[in-house]
Amino acid sequence: MERRIFPKHESMASSFFQELNKLNCGLLYALCPTGESTQSSANNNTVAGYVMYSWPSCLLGSINKLAVRESCRRQGYGEALLKTAIEKCKTRNIQRLSLHVDPLRVDAVSLYKKLGFRIDTLIHSYYSQDRHAYRMFLDFY
């Protein structure tokens, strides 16, 4: 899923499990029914999406990656994953949660704003020479 959703230079496919093994890193995922009938109920689900987050310090957390399978979008999976990650970070007494997002990913920016994230700044050439990123944050008071 990582390779399909993100361009090669943004994909964490080759380092996904290394990132997860880092201290203070979490992964949440959501399953969606595939609609196929098999004997095992576990085989009737597929990963709808995931969110990887970290808390490198007691003050700051980060949403490192949020991905939702294209066929599962606009069904609430991304919002549910992000809300859960936010709650997990709150339990760690983090004061600020940040993320980076391509301004052209309008749906993603809208979701982040809906959940209270604000745009801090535009970082030029963040992803590549001609692809920029908003740095967004959510403060917990």
What is the model's pLDDT at position 10?
A: 57
Is a pLDDT exceeding 50 seen at residue 40?
no
Segment 82-100 shows an average pLDDT of: 94
CATH no. of 2-139:
3.40.630.30
What is the model's pLDDT at position 112?
A: 98
Domain boundaries, the chain: 2-139
Segment 29-57 shows an average pLDDT of: 75
Q: Which residues of 104-138 are buried (b: 16+ CB within 10 A; e: fewer)?
A: eeeebbebbeeeebeeeeeeeeebeeeebbbebbb
* Predicted TM-score of the model (pTM): 0.81
Q: What is the pLDDT of the chain when averaged over all its residues?
A: 85
pLDDT digits (tens, 9 = 90+) for 97-122: 999 999 999 999 999 999 999 999 99
